[in-house]
Structure 1
Amino acid sequence: MDAYILDAVRTPRARAKPGKGALSGLHPQELLAQTLRQLPARTAVDVSDIDDVVIGCVSQVEAQGANIARQAVLAAGWPISVPAFTLNRFCGSGLQALSLAAMGVASGAQRLVVAGGVEQMSRLGLNADGGGTDGGNTRLREKLFQVPQGISADLIATLEGFSREELDAFGLRSQQLAVRAQAEGRFGRSLFPVKDPDSGDVLLAADDSPRADTTREKLAALSASFMQLGAQVAGPGGETLDALAVRAWPRAREVRHVHTAGTSSGIVDGAGAMLVASGEYVRAHGLKPRARVRAFSAVGSDPVLMLTGPAPAALKALKAAGMTARDVDLWEINEAFAAVVLQTARALEVDLERVNVNGGAIALGHPLGATGSMLVGTAVDELERRGGTVAVVALCTSGGQAVAAVLERV
């Protein structure tokens, strides 16, 4: 595929505390606008050459409504001739934006496209659009009753036989690796400080979610997050959410609630963006890209299990690139929940030593629409740091889907 990533940038992830989080007072358009402005400053491309801006955002309501991509382009002070649109593939939105940008430039229809994502969860948290798991469609529920993601994560852990101790160990790993990555400056290439647009003061210069004081004992003391949710009556026959999950997957017999706040992704604010160019544009302007998009994919998966799509999505993308899992140096599998990464690594027969080597969303947080673009930057940075060649980024999404991309360091 003739599509190249010239650069990738991201904001720090800020804990989503309404009115108190470091980025909670900044309008999400401004958060994204600051991110966009980083790209031409780093690559020296002419902004007027940008053919389109594609931005992932899950909660497209209120401050994140009105096509936030276009509003951010205007807020960034870019030429009014630069178009933009916003998409929603749930947690995979930021990576889906890269896929569309890569398709545009590889086809020859476009030369230069910005792809990225944004989510300010301190202002618009989970289910801010009111759609829930299925938009409240009772006819759909008669055919297929989808349970919340936390129930799905615990169902996956039950079916795979993952113990609470295994999940806690993975949660601790995420924290320890993220803290180490911060200490060693591994996020420095992509990261930029977010500033107050009025005073110019730095609001946040580094991710503030990782907890260096996390221990196995502290994680073991946390309560299961989704036990009460699973006991809620939701089915038309008076069934609980747990019972509905088991009805779909009777092999489980029960849902063991093993995920906690320490093994689930954190709720944060953040934005990320990438500049994607065609080979023709790269050559014409003497640019040095950082990575090539070799292939990408999107798949549907069981909507009750919901979160098992990353493995088939990765295999589909690797097949398109003429590769196998053995050819991959680094994996970035979004840590929506600990069981998601463990199940994906098991299905792919991948050693965890190559997976999320700088921690993941359990420690760093998961700003829904932005996470995919952030993981791309993390993967490219780490390939360069260790001299690797190939990375795969994969994310599960609500509703039983997943997206993946194969990246090759240039």
Structure 2
Amino acid sequence: MRVLHVITGLNAGGAEQWLWTLVGNSRHDNEVLALSEPGVLAEALCRTGVRVSCAGMRGNRDVLAAVGLVGRIRARRPDVVHTHLFRAQLYGALAARLAGVRTVVSTEHSLNRTRIEGRPTTRPGVRLLYRVGAACTDRTVAVSRPVADLLADGWTRADRTVVVPLGIDRQTFVFDPAARRRVRDRLGVPPDVPLVGGVGRLVPGKRFEVLLDAVAHLPGAHVVVAGAGPERDRLLRRAAHLGIAHRVHLPGEVAEPAPLLCAMDAFASPSAEETFGMAVLEALASGLPAVYVRCPALEGGPPVPGAVHVGPGTDELTAALRAALLRGPWARRPPPGLDRFDPAVAARTIDDLYDELVRGGGRGHGVRTGRGTRSNR
């Protein structure tokens, strides 16, 4: 079976990493079409033998490139088109239908209660455009139960939604002392200096300025945040204002976060709106204490040792990080409880979904909630 994945771009991020996971574990023939910039993950996908192309779309209003999607999709003759992220969910699903594709699937990675990919959900037209894309889609895959609940609140039909939680390949994140030394040498952080870290796009919703405020109250501690985005300069200015510029490291986006996690002594995710919380699970798999404001993957499940939930304020984050650093050094072994996020199950659940929809001519007969993950690289 030929599956064409259409995604907005392939810079390092949760949705893009998940796509890498999915195609790396799928039993079907997968190809990836990025609407805009290929990004660092395009190179990683190509190295694994996955075909990757770019539509060259310059923005949401690039109508010419959007129209060209129809021909690009028709030329590939896929059995299934699977879209990821808002722009691709709209243009990719519409183009797939116009190209005669009978089965269209979408994964919802970024819908929160107040925002979707940085856009307020109350902005005029956002919900309407989402519904247009959803009307062209046979199934929407929600990455967590909270996302499915939001989708049911007027975004798409509940009977066309299936929950497939993400997860991690724990072996990818096994602690590596040599990687710790290499990364710290590259950052200029001495071996005995506490290093707090975060991973994510440098956008307002990730609230990394709160992490900088917390580290300013942890004397001697350094902080590293891996990611790219429009908030980079503002974060650097804030670090200078706090007097900690020499303790702040922003290395840019990374395709493989595991070595950076090895260099850390504690992990923080100050974002108050997350659809899953992949970065928190990755940190835990690396044996780190992980302090977070929101991680739907852990909500409603058994407690995971090392996972520390805090409120959105700076004081709580500071106190939790101080306690984590004082308890170190940690054994750097993944805690029990992460085995329920099995990378093979997610791909099998999605592949089964493709099979059922194709056999049913595009609509299928309902799919059970599955449990899935992130990949073997």
TM-score normalised by the chain length of structure 2: 0.29
TM-score normalised by the chain length of structure 1: 0.27
